[in-house]
Amino acid sequence: MPKSRILPPADGARLAALDPTTLGRPFHLLPVFLRLVEQELADFVAHELNARYRAQFQFKGVQAGQADLDPERRTWHRLDGAGIGVNVARPLLLRILDYRYGGRTSPALPASQPPRETETERRLARMLGERLTARLVQAVWRLAKSGMPTHKTDPAVETLPFPPGETPAWHMQLTLGEAGSGGTSQIGLALDAAVFAQVLRQLSRQAALPGQTAGKALARPFAEQLSIRLAVRLMEKRLTLGEIFDLRVGSVLPVSLQQQADVYIGRTRVFTAAVAESHGKLCLTSFDDAE
C-alpha cells in the first residue's frame, strides 16, 4: 500500500477545494436534470418567444452554477411548492418589447444612459418569469416521471412580492442569440432549497433503481416525438385548356415567386411563411398562423 505524503503549500493551493455541502449528494447526476431543463427552455424559446412575438431568438444552451450578476432584478415565483427566481437581462427585455410592438430593426440598448425602467418592462419581466417557472417545474415533474398534473387551465404561478430570505441553492443561466446579430443575452434562473432538494431526491431514486442508471436517456417530450408532414404551395399558375394542350417537352411557363407561401397539413392550410433564399436553396421562415 503506497504511503501518503503531505503536499507542499504551493501544490495544495492549485487543487480544487472540496465543497462539504456536496458530500453524499448526487451532484454528479445533475446533467440528467439539466438535459430536461434544456428541452423545456428550447421549447420556451421556440413557442413562447419566437412564435408569440415573431422574434428570431436562437437557443444557445444552459449553463449551471453561474449566479446572476444583478440579483436585485430577480423576480421570484412559486408553483407547486417550488420557488424559482428569474432575472431577464434588460437589453433582452427591451428587445422582446421591440418585437412585441413592431420595432424589429431598432438598435441594441446603448451602454450609456439607458432609458428609465417602465411598468411595461416590469409586467413583461413578471410574465416571462411565471412562464419560465412553469417550464422548470415541468422539468422537475418529468424527472419524477409523474408528468404534468392535469389542469383544465394553465397552472397558476404565484409571483412573490419580495424575495425569500434564504439564498438560492442552485443557479442556471440561459443564453440566447439572435438571427443577424453576433451578440448574446442571458436569463438567470435560480432554484430555492426546497425544489433543489426535490431534484436531488429524484436523482438519488433513479440511481438506486436496479438495472437502471440515472444517466440513461430519458424519453423525449411528446412535441419532439410527433412527426407531421407539411406541404408547401409556393405559387399558382392558371392556364386555359388550350394552353395546356399546347404544352410540349421543354415549354417554359413564365411565373413569379411570391414572397409568402401557404403551408398545409393534408388539405388544411395551417401557416403562412416567408420565402427566402439561402445558398441557392429556397427556405421558409417567419411562420404565422393562418387565419
Q: Is the pLDDT of residue 1 over 50?
A: no
Q: What is the pLDDT of residue 2?
A: 55
Phi, psi dihedral angles at 145 (to 5 degrees): 60, 30
71-96 mean pLDDT:
90
Highest mean pLDDT among 65-79, 136-150, 229-243: 229-243
Q: What is the pLDDT of residue 151?
A: 47
In the chain, where the domains are located: 24-225, 231-289
Q: Are 286 and 53 in contact (CB under 8 A)?
A: no
Architecture per CATH, 24-225: 3-Layer(aba) Sandwich (3.40)
* pTM score: 0.65
Per-residue pLDDT of 130-181, as tens digits, reads 999 999 999 999 888 755 554 445 668 999 888 887 888 889 999 999 877 7
Q: Count Cβ atoms below 10 Å from residue 56 Cβ, excluding itself.
A: 16
28-40 mean pLDDT:
90
Per-residue pLDDT of 95-132, as tens digits, reads 999 888 876 554 454 555 567 888 999 999 999 999 99
Phi, psi dihedral angles at 200 (to 5 degrees): -65, -35
> Cα-Cα-Cα-Cα dihedral of 152, 146, 27, 215, to 10°?
-120
Q: What is the pLDDT of residue 28?
A: 81
Cell 440561459 found at: 174
C-alpha cell at 240: 386555359
Largest interatomic CA distance in the chain: 98
Q: What is the mean pLDDT of the chain?
A: 80
114 vs 177: CA distance, rounded Å: 21
Q: What is the pLDDT of residue 17?
A: 62
197 vs 143: CA distance, rounded Å: 13
Distances (CA, A) of 98 to 95, 103, 125: 5, 4, 14
Report domain 231-289's class: mainly beta
Percent of the chain with pLDDT over 70: 77
Spatial CB neighbours of 259, under 8 Å, sequence gap ≥ 6: 274, 275
